[in-house]
Structure 1
């Protein structure tokens, strides 16, 4: 009896949720200064509020760039295809498709980090800028580390499955 690839189900479900959230982010409209006008009257310092509005708009515009939209759609397609392969019990193709998804996710993390770095420059207060930079770096590093761990796990499982296949073929020959 073939072992169930529980690891791949868990990874793909998590990735499907993240892809759905990314798709939702791409489909949501870019905010305007008028739509965020309530921030300035909420008791926040006027300069900081204007900078925060400009920052939010710039980051959202970056996330709506054609390159990012292509990455998000590609990642959603790869997760869907991997899930289809997994349902059809083609674990090897599901693994390879998931590896492609993880590589696209890493590229997307780096691309989003570069966009946030441009937007951080809109803050004039050094402490606020430092905090925004630190948050962006932390989120990017965490995302890449998690993706590399997932990638390592899938490569280990691919290696393990290949080893088991080789052993079973050797036993058949004997």
Structure 2
């Protein structure tokens, strides 16, 4: 490894933050939740029914986030991230680090899609159609944003991996 892959360090930093956030939500989210008036106001929950619906929504979303499939996804994403760090820093095998990182990106995107589709069914807990629509739009925008980030990260890493493989073939 002659030149330091600064781009990979930066991408790994952002992926690590996102992965750790998912891990905390999956492995450590509390099922006990109290909806305070301040938080309800931030969420624009005005009626008692809206607040009750949100509490049910939260409890069900914790169940989805702590399902065996979510555990599996987050565990695989963590393993792929650790493998990337291992190949990058311990083995100093940059090409393999690129491949494991691309696998981590794909797993993260599949997990994002899983969360989106699992969360859509939870929206039925809202009796207020405008709240249901707002949460649907926000989750759709979140999936769109995460997909754009995944495509960007994957494209950068794929481009660099192909260039690295070509350079290694010449050497």
Is residue 17 from structure 1 mapped to residue 17 from structure 2 by the alignment? yes
Secondary structure of 1:3's aligned partner: coil
Cα deviation 1:32-74 (Å, max 9, x = unaligned): 5xx42655xx784110001101111111111111001110011
> Which consecutive residues of structure 1, in runs of 5 or more, have no partner in the other structure?
170-174
Q: Which of residues 121, 125, 140 is equivalent to 1:122?
A: 125
Quote how far apart the aligned CAs of 1:162 are: 1.8
* Alignment deviations for residues 116-136 of structure 1 (CA, whole Å, 9 cap, x no partner): 101111112121111000000
Give the greater-gyration-radius structure (CA): 1
Structure 2: state its 5+ residue gaps.
none
Residues 124-143 of structure 1 mapped to structure 2, 5 A cutoff: 124-143=127-146
Separation of aligned partners in 2, 1:151 and 1:84: 19
Find the residue that maps to 1:31 and give its secondary structure: coil
C-alpha displacement at 1:18, in angstroms? 1.5
What aligned pairs does 1:1-174 form with structure 2 within 5 A after superposition?
2-32=2-32, 35-36=33-34, 38=36, 44-88=46-90, 89-167=92-170, 169=171
Number of positions where the alignment pairs a residue of Structure 1 with one of Structure 2: 165
TM, length-normalised to structure 1: 0.87
Cα distance between partner residues in 2 of 1:38 and 1:125 = 20
1:142 CA drift (Å):
0.7
Is contact 2:31-2:59 (8 Å) kept? Answer: yes
Quote how far apart the aligned CAs of 1:26 are: 1.4
| 38 and 166 in structure 1: CA distance in 2 versus 1, 3 angstrom threshold | closer
4+ residue runs over 6 A deviation: none
Tell me if the contact between 1:123 and 1:129 (Cα under 8 Å) persists in the aligned partners: yes
| CA RMSD, 1 decimal | 1.9
Return the TM-score normalized by structure 2: 0.88
